[in-house]
Structure 1
């Protein structure tokens, strides 16, 4: 896990490269390196040493023929078997970076599809003066780029690009998406001319008459390419396959030359990863959880019981809600653009705890999206019912006049049109399209492209479409962003075995009757887990990993709301109509509790604009 940055722009300087790269010392405190040539190419790297701790593995790394220079952030877990594609090569290191580079030297961009792992990479060919950039298939590792026709740069975090271009303009086009989703989806960012690099793609950059010229984005891995015509429906066969795939994924991702452990919340996904890790590891696994002692639900005792059963070396951090809320002022500096997921705060705290003992932690992210862990998949199916579709508009209208509990439930029925249904189902607590029409001071945006179905060789059910949408957007642009920034703030590498490509290819083709069976979500994953940890350890409702945001906005966070959601601040930035925003604020403080997340999003947006806007 590292941080990379660079540019391909005439007139750029080596000091600029170093300054931009060094904004990410937290991503790589162990070493820094820089490659620069007068043509305007610069590659910068901050290293967090994980595999092959020697100086020979420092970056930028140069190919054996010295023609190519590379900066690379990530881990490729099948690198040892990929060495077989280069028989006779004289390897200088025993890590994955050199394998990634030399595969590219031999096979070109074709090699990216062979890499099972998480990565963002930039490789420069000194002879042809061609820069190639790529990002892993799922989007686990972050990558941004800036392009305005005259300049090109890239980085693991927005702060490096802001260092190079301090006068970036606000991208108003991204704001409706933030208010609709609580994050900004690929390819948008909060800045004009700055983009999120799409997962599973690569891009080539050259200079043409002194200006950077970009090729089209080329896909080397897409979800649609791995959906098969037939699904796996035999339960015994599927369970054995999943068991074997999961054991292989966890074992691969435990490879490290530094101490490693797992996050353990006590839920299905983190427990499955931890249970398998405890079976395949040659040393006792370290596990980490936080105990919110005054929270609505404290799952730490469940995590501790599972850790005891598995015999892990367990670490628990007792905290109070106040400790979580004390992290709130750090939100903007960590995420660099408006970001609404409040589970970022406890994720920071458990990452800080883990970093005191290990350098690598395995998390359980990805299980809900692949195995139907969310209630949204039930809603996706329910909203296809012809009777409910016929009655949904009058039911929605009635819910708006009902007590607050029914307003919240009724919001699911209030979608404007079928073409935006997936993002509507996901964002039930956020701003709907009809609400944005009266809230925003501008129009011209559309969520239709965001809601396009994943291409498939077989007909997909409504639940599958919703699940695949989550994999493409929610997972990449919310959950993985959350974990990456929260953990890298403390120089902790987080790995996600449930997003191993073999797991992902299996889940894409698992019959949905084995994802949810007789109302039991994540059915097949649970069957694998229950062979390792008895089912009674999980006999409880599912809870999220967040904070009691509604209560916090009423109390500890109210000063933040009062500071940034005023008539003067709102009218200064002219993004939303003050009367609409202030009316929502007033309704919340008069008892409309269902409005709390929309109030939070408006507060975060104007907080960010005040700190960064022009």
Structure 2
């Protein structure tokens, strides 16, 4: 895991691209790679590549970057891991196309594969997480590429007539005079979703390479953007090596073997390695497969909020004891968590309003004190149907869409009325949720359910109400930004029935997963120089999941109504279900209470900043009215307020003139 940055001049000379400029870019992302720094430049071609190294595989100088291919044609800066690189080496040797190896890094393997097979075929045969920049000396082309599911970030922009790229926006903001303005449409999309949408950029002119995409840059030519292999291709079976068996029991064994292989490959490391363990289905299965294939105790880590209804640490500890992991729980207080909040704008480098960023960041800090690499359970929900909306959403949409609009409006208003009467002190509703084993966060979603019932008229609107943090962001802005952009599914998935479980999972996989979940973990981990790996997002696993029968992922029969069926069944071979089967609640925190308590003065200082409000295009009256409603306990508005506050905090964190 590393940080990369670079420049490609549009003129005939690279004289304008002074070495100090590239140094300032790599300095801005030092935390992504604290072990070493490397630069390479070709002034005649006006190209410069920079790298910050977090040494994981081949700690010697043979693994240092930027790295040149043995043939001399290619120079690469690479962030990530190629998990099957040893197999690729064997294939190159068998074909008689292997170069003389100087080390055992996966970067050197990838360069050998590119030289032998070409860039796109090499990437299609490689399984891993990565963002890279490849300079082709022969074609005088700089190509930026990103992994299939978007695990590793890669930004690019035009600057003073040149092209620039980096792992994070802060490296691009280090460029002299680079100050992209805010896009009002991007602000609206951020407020709606709580994260910066890749296709509705918050900062004008700052673009992201798409998951599974590549951008080719060449002096004097327009950028060329293509897809080398994305989620749509994976869901269509592009990475599937063998089809799933016919019987359910055989499919369980088939998938377990594949997961065990992927987890084993992701445990290859020359530095200490462990895993996150929440005690839920996803992380418990990863820990179980790691421990089953390891000759020593696996180090596992969890976080707990003592005395909180959100504390899952006892479940993690029980699973760890059963598996025999060397487990550590970080018990944090409310004060510990609140002290982190002022640091979030620096850590996330963009406005980011998924409040689970707080426990995620604390967990990464804890793990980094003991290991340099941690495997996670991220991605299983999106790929195997683990969210409540995947299980309950299709039936809800089917029933709502059958009702006449007047009836739906009346139903929605009735639900919102119940929530309004309950206010913030919804103890009775919370008690009912616990009694019927419903998610503890259900009450906070009832108001959204009511409004969705009243207003959602299409599957796209239905999905937006299921996932949006702020249903109507225009209500908080000075000027109407227009409709929030809704991405369409890739062509391979265009035939999915709108509102179906597969349709919902696909929408999550192309938006929420790469732009929220993976950004959250990447920034939290990289801030402390920790590499995280996600077995469920290996291309082979994604293709395998989408090749399964629907019943292998989601079971709606009887009263069970559960997702990730096949993962639960596999885990039951390793861990008794009584230790892991409980209502899903996510990595939640008591945000509503904190905003009324320990975060109140911090929030009120930000909401009083008219200068930041104006810069963001927010309506101060509307935002402060939302705050007053929350403080008066007329509703729980924490999620919406958090999006506003994170935007203001980020703007306040930037040096003057950067936006």
Same fold at TM > 0.5 = yes
Tell me the SS of whatever aligns to 1:288. strand
2-structure distance, mates of 1:287, 1:576: 43
Aligned positions of 1:457-496 closer than 5 A? 459-460=496-497, 462-496=500-534
Deviations 1:472-507 (A, max 9, x none): 111101111111110111111000011111110011
Superposed counterparts of 1:519-530, under 5 Å: 519-530=561-572
Q: Which residue number in structure 2 is paired with residue 431 of structure 1? A: 470
What is aligned with 2:2? 2
CA offsets 1:583-612 (integer angstroms, 9 cap, x no match): 222211121333221122112222223333
Q: Residues 30 and 52 of structure 2 are in contact (CA less than 8 Å); yes or no, is this contact kept in structure 1?
A: yes
Give the deviation of 1:277 after TM superposition.
0.1
In the alignment, structure 1 residue 180 sits paired with structure 2 residue 192: yes
* 2: CA distance, partners of 1:157 / 1:591: 38
Deviation at 1:414, TM superposition (A): 4.2
What is aligned with 1:151? 162
Q: Is contact 1:396-1:411 (8 Å) kept?
A: yes
1:510 to partner: Cα distance: 2.1
Partner of residue 584, structure 1: 626
Greater Cα offset, 448-457 or 73-82 = 448-457
For the residue of structure 1 that corresponds to 2:274, the secondary structure is strand
1:541 aligns with 2:583: yes
Q: Which of 148, 152, 156 is matched with 1:141 structurally?
A: 152
The Cα of 1:558 is off from its aligned counterpart by 1.0
CA distance in 2, matches of 1:474, 1:132: 26
Paired with 1:181 and 1:150, the residues of 2 have a C-alpha distance of 33
Quick check: 2:184–2:481 contact (8 Å CA) kept in 1? no
1:120 and 2:131 are equivalent in the alignment: yes
Q: Does 1:384 align with 2:398?
A: yes
How far did 1:411 drift? 2.8
Q: In 2, Cα distance between the equivalents of 1:6 and 1:56?
A: 21
Equivalent pair of 1:134/1:200 in contact (CA under 8 Å):
yes
Identify which range, 4-13 or 447-456, moves more after superposition.
447-456
Q: What is the CA–CA distance in structure 1 between the aligned matches of 2:357 and 2:279, rounded to whole Å?
A: 18
* Candidates 210, 215, 218, aligned match of 1:206: 218
Residue 396 of structure 1 corresponds to: 412
Taking the aligned partners of 2:549 and 2:593, their CA distance within structure 1 comes to: 40
Contact 1:560 1:603 in 2 (8 A): no
Partner of 2:231: 223
SS at 1:594's partner residue? coil
- Match of 1:72, SS? strand
**Where do residues 37-436 of structure 1 align in structure 2 (5 Å cutoff)?**
37-38=42-43, 39-87=45-93, 88=96, 89=98, 90-110=100-120, 111-147=122-158, 150-164=161-175, 165-208=177-220, 213-228=221-236, 234-377=247-390, 378-385=392-399, 386-388=401-403, 390=405, 391-404=407-420, 407-418=447-458, 420-421=460-461, 423-428=463-468, 430-432=469-471, 435-436=472-473
Structure 1 CA distance for aligned equivalents of residues 146 and 613 of structure 2: 39
Q: Is the 8 A contact 1:275 1:310 kept in 2?
A: yes
- Is the Cα contact below 8 Å between 2:613 and 2:648 reproduced in 1? no
* Contact 2:375 2:534 (8 Å CA) reproduced: yes
Residues 440-449 or 483-492, more deviating: 440-449
Q: Distance in 1 between matches of 2:185 and 2:402?
A: 37
In structure 2, relative to structure 1, the CA distance for the partners of 1:547 and 1:137 (3 Å cut) is same
* Structure 2 match to 1:564: 606
- Bigger shift: residues 31-40 or 250-259: 31-40
48-57 vs 502-511, greater mean Cα deviation: 502-511
The alpha-carbon deviation at position 541 of structure 1 amounts to 2.3
Q: Displacement, 1:570?
A: 6.2
Unaligned runs of 5+ in 1: none
Q: Distance in 2 between matches of 1:555 and 1:233?
A: 56
Structure 2 counterpart SS, 1:71? strand
How far apart are residue 282 of structure 1 and its match? 2.7
The 1:571–1:63 alpha-carbon spacing in structure 2 relative to 1, beyond 3 Å, is: closer
Moved more, 400-409 or 64-73: 400-409
**Contact 1:420–1:448 (CA<8 Å) still a contact in 2?**
no
> 2:585 and 2:101 mapped to 1: Cα distance?
48
Distance 1:573 1:302, change over 3 A: same
- Tell me the secondary structure at the aligned position of residue 250 of structure 2: helix
Task: Return the offset for 1:554.
Answer: 0.5
Tell whether the 8 Å contact from 1:72 to 1:121 is kept in structure 2 after alignment: yes
C-alpha displacement at 1:333, in angstroms? 0.2
User: Does residue 1:447 correspond to 2:473, yes or no?
Assistant: no
- 8 Å contact from structure 1 (residues 420, 447) kept in 2: no
Summarize the Cα distance change of 1:426–1:82 in structure 2 as closer, same or farther, 3 Å threshold: farther
Bigger CA drift: 604-613 or 539-548? 604-613
Greater Cα shift, 92-101 or 103-112: 103-112
Alignment partners' CA distance in 1, 2:193 and 2:210:
18
CA distance in 2, matches of 1:366, 1:381: 23
Q: What residue is the counterpart of 2:432 in the other structure? A: none
In 2, distance between residues paired with 1:425 and 1:58?
A: 47
Is the 1:233–1:511 Cα contact (8 Å) retained in structure 2?
A: no
Could you tell me whether the CA contact under 8 Å between 1:335 and 1:485 is conserved in 2?
yes
Bigger mean CA deviation after superposition, 404-413 or 114-123: 404-413
The unaligned stretches of length 5 or more in structure 2 are 238-242, 423-445
Equivalence for 1:531: 573
Contact 1:441–1:574 (Cα < 8 Å) also in 2: no
Deviation string, structure 1 residues 71-115 (Cα, Å, up to 9, x no partner) = 000001111111244234221111210111122222222222221
Distance 1:74 1:570, change over 3 A: closer
Distance (whole Å) between structure 2 residues aligned to residue 369 and residue 431 of structure 1: 22
1:444 deviates by 4.6
